[in-house]
Structure 1
Amino acid sequence: MLKNSTGYNITQLIVGSEGTLGIVTKIVLKLIPLPKYDLLILAPFASLEKACEAVSAIFRAGYTPSALELMEIDALKIVSSMVDSHTVPVNDDIEAHLLIEVDGNDTEVLLKEMEQIAGVLEQYEAGELLFAEDAHQKEELWKLRRKVAEYVKMVGYTIEEDAVVPRAELPKLIKGLKALGKEHDFDVVAYGHAGDGNLHIRIKKEGIPDSYQNPEMDSIVRELFVLVKNLGGTISGEHGIGLIQKGFMDIMFEERQLQIMRDIKKYLTLMAF
């Protein structure tokens, strides 16, 4: 069915609960046709904050790219040094890149949309735009983005969070991350789904491989999550909570709200028996 407002929407409760409320035994999916065409550009920025501001501006202008990814220069330098690719010039004058894709079934419409997006980027001091001319170049650009997580981990950025903030608050999140790094003596890189306001935050702290049950790192992550909350965001966009983030749920919820979640789990468990 295309619509259904009969009774409670139980699927919204179960989907995303990661098995804590029950076991899914059957899933029915609705598929949409694969778009015939896509266009891809890479936009460099001398300012990380300007890159983040451009993300919000694209959506305010009425465009919804099929992908809008951010890679800050520290992350890009790492992956570029480990991937055999010369597609993207990496230099100290650039602080971030945006990877922007549009897709659809009409190339003329897509070209016009991409041109208009390029106009928005120019307002936020984007450098020379790189238009992927063929499938090979598109693959080269996506390879850099897809390999970031693997390679930054290999060089010591082993602590990862995936905070989400409203797109307009991305500049403040990035600025706050860098300030926390200087204050607590750790390196941090950020990349990810800027179009969703969802950044993967990778931290490298000497002698601390992960944050689980580490008091020093717990304190740092708590400061990070308080920043995220104050920006109107939340502490996990994709990865879920699990054991590592369980201790930070009090930042996002009052005890009464947490108890409601426990009660839901309790009653569903009772129903199963």
Structure 2
Amino acid sequence: MYRMVDGAILRQLTDIVGPKAVFSDEETLTIYSKDETIGISHKPEVVVKPTTPKEIKEIMRLSYLENIPLTPRGKGTGLSGGAIPIYGGIVLSCENMERIIDIDNDNLMVITEPGIITGQLQKTVEAQNLFYPPDPASLDSCSIGGNVAECAGGSRAVKYGTTKDYVNGLELILPSGVMISTGGKVVKDVTGYNLTQLITGSEGTLAIITQIILRLIPLPRLRKDMLIPFNSIEQAAQTVSDIIRSQIVPTAIEIMEKNSFELAELFTKRTLPFRDASAHLLVTLDGNQEEALDEEQTRVGEICERNGAIDILIASSRTMRERMWEGRKCLFEAANLMGKMYKPFDVVVPRSLIPSLIKKIYEISEKYKIKAMCFGHAGDGNVHVLIFQGEIPNDEWGNKIEIIERELYKSTINLGGKITAEHGVGLLRKPFLSMNLDSQQIELLKGLKKVFDPKNILNPGKIFDL
């Protein structure tokens, strides 16, 4: 079906980007054979690291003409297998395209290349009292281009939304090698279909992003962080629903149960506060009016106490705040480095139904006698679940986890939820897409893919098969 990368193709790639940006050695191919998704890998035949849109255009054109599969890649922090080149071919890494081109204070916009680390972008605009809110847990290692491709979320989505709410324009290379620009610095734009939003969250299957225009907002002056322990996960989950029902919209409401807290302690080598509690909430409030923020903090505290909170710890310094959040943000990395085989889930339900979802997760855990770990963005209904293999033999694990996965997804869908909130379908959830989308919807998606990529060379095999 696809042409292999041979000496002639390697020479043409070298002519485009130079010999120092083309890699075909085993060590590099192994590194780029995987992302952060545990248990899945496939080597490309070559890795190319362009630094300009013109180079990407020429590489994409070569790939199109020669029918070579091409997988775009940011920093490789994805959790759905989206950057794994399952058909070999070319991995095109945008990691060296990391310039901020312009910070426009007049229009509250930033223009950036796709390879910059998201946390670095945030710090740069914050130095000018501007704010880019989306904050995935991999903030200090993921790229903004990857965030746009996945429509990344993060803890602040409960108040500020996800990546799609800030993407104002894109410069793109289509699979044919044609360059187009969508959107711009305008606040309003209904000129035709919204291609900017179509590409955002398309998982690198429709076009390669070479430049991004992001909307910024003024940086909030004040922030308060609270760590609240509970005697049960049910109490913590109910507290989340009660906070939202009270019409308080915190910047973040994160939930962690005891297993995840213990894993965080092992990884960080720190004793975390209230370590004996069964569950914890992390709540952040921000704003510009101190009196209003104090009132919100008081109301949140009262709701927590009514639901049986053991205590309420309020961060008194930046260092204390960072330590409170350290345990939450490290969990996927911790699970990977601990060498434990697990299956990750990224389910989402209407946030009022978080208590019902968590109850169902633990019912499934008990039914199949497996260890499940829950944590995540409870304030927006998004719960991350890790189901560990534990003592299950390898020859039984595959069948058992598929049964568990289908049951968990069915329960999520019955609550009005979706099988992925922010990590994407990629490879990992491709077999389960039809549980959430009917055949007509999937055919529409396939039709869009064929319009953009009639030869199916750009990140093939992701989301669905053609």
Tell me the TM-score normalised to structure 1 length: 0.91
Aligned length: 269
Structural mapping, 1:202-221, within 5 Å: 202-206=386-390, 214-221=398-405
Is this contact kept in 1: 2:382–2:421, CA < 8 A? yes
Residue 209 of structure 1 deviates from its aligned partner by 9.9
User: Sequence identity, in percent?
Assistant: 36
Does residue 114 (structure 1) correspond to residue 320 (structure 2)? The answer is no
Q: Which residue of 2 aligns with 1:26?
A: 211
Of Structure 1 and Structure 2, which has the larger fraction of its residues in helix? 1
Is this contact kept in 1: 2:258–2:279, CA < 8 A? yes
Q: Which residue of 1 aligns with 2:320?
A: 137
Is this contact kept in 2: 1:164–1:235, CA < 8 A? yes
1:143 & 1:23 partners in 2: Cα distance? Answer: 33
Q: Which residue of 1 aligns with 2:97?
A: none
Residue among 48, 53, 78 paired with 2:238: 53
Equivalent position SS for 2:255: strand
2:273 & 2:327 partners in 1: Cα distance? Answer: 9
Q: Which residue of 2 aligns with 1:251?
A: 435
Residue 170 of structure 1 deviates from its aligned partner by 1.2
Specify the structure having the higher radius of gyration (Cα): 2
Q: Which residue of 2 aligns with 1:240?
A: 424
Is this contact kept in 1: 2:253–2:282, CA < 8 A? yes
Gaps of 5+ in 1: none
2:399 & 2:284 partners in 1: Cα distance? Answer: 41
Judged with a 3 Å threshold, the aligned counterparts in structure 2 of structure 1 residues 157 and 177 are, in CA distance, closer, same or farther, namely farther
Structural mapping, 1:7-26, within 5 Å: 7-26=192-211
Is this contact kept in 2: 1:158–1:209, CA < 8 A? no
2:246 & 2:407 partners in 1: Cα distance? Answer: 33
Residue 17 of structure 1 deviates from its aligned partner by 0.1
Residue 260 of structure 1 deviates from its aligned partner by 1.2
Q: Which residue of 2 aligns with 1:181?
A: 365
Equivalent position SS for 1:192: strand
Residue among 294, 307, 317 paired with 1:124: 307
Equivalent position SS for 1:235: coil
Judged with a 3 Å threshold, the aligned counterparts in structure 2 of structure 1 residues 268 and 209 are, in CA distance, closer, same or farther, namely farther
CA offsets, 1:194-233, max 9 Å, x none? 11111110111236699xx933321211111111100111
Residue 253 of structure 1 deviates from its aligned partner by 1.3
Equivalent position SS for 1:247: helix
Residue 105 of structure 1 deviates from its aligned partner by 2.2
1:77 & 1:155 partners in 2: Cα distance? Answer: 15
Residue 5 of structure 1 deviates from its aligned partner by 2.8
Judged with a 3 Å threshold, the aligned counterparts in structure 2 of structure 1 residues 157 and 125 are, in CA distance, closer, same or farther, namely farther
Q: Which residue of 2 aligns with 1:79?
A: 264
Residue 76 of structure 1 deviates from its aligned partner by 0.6
2:318 & 2:211 partners in 1: Cα distance? Answer: 37
Which aligned runs of 4 or more in structure 1 are off by greater than 6 angstroms? Answer: none
Is this contact kept in 2: 1:157–1:202, CA < 8 A? no
Is this contact kept in 2: 1:166–1:197, CA < 8 A? yes
1:155 & 1:96 partners in 2: Cα distance? Answer: 24
1:270 & 1:248 partners in 2: Cα distance? Answer: 24
2:278 & 2:351 partners in 1: Cα distance? Answer: 18
Which residue identity does 2:408 align to in structure 1? Answer: L
Task: Tell me the C-alpha RMSD between the 2 structures.
Answer: 2.3
Gaps of 5+ in 2: 1-185, 457-466
1:139 & 1:216 partners in 2: Cα distance? Answer: 38
Equivalent position SS for 2:201: coil
1:32 & 1:264 partners in 2: Cα distance? Answer: 33
Q: Which residue of 2 aligns with 1:97?
A: 280
Higher relative contact order (CA 8 A, sep 6+): 1
Of Structure 1 and Structure 2, which has the larger fraction of its residues in strand? 2
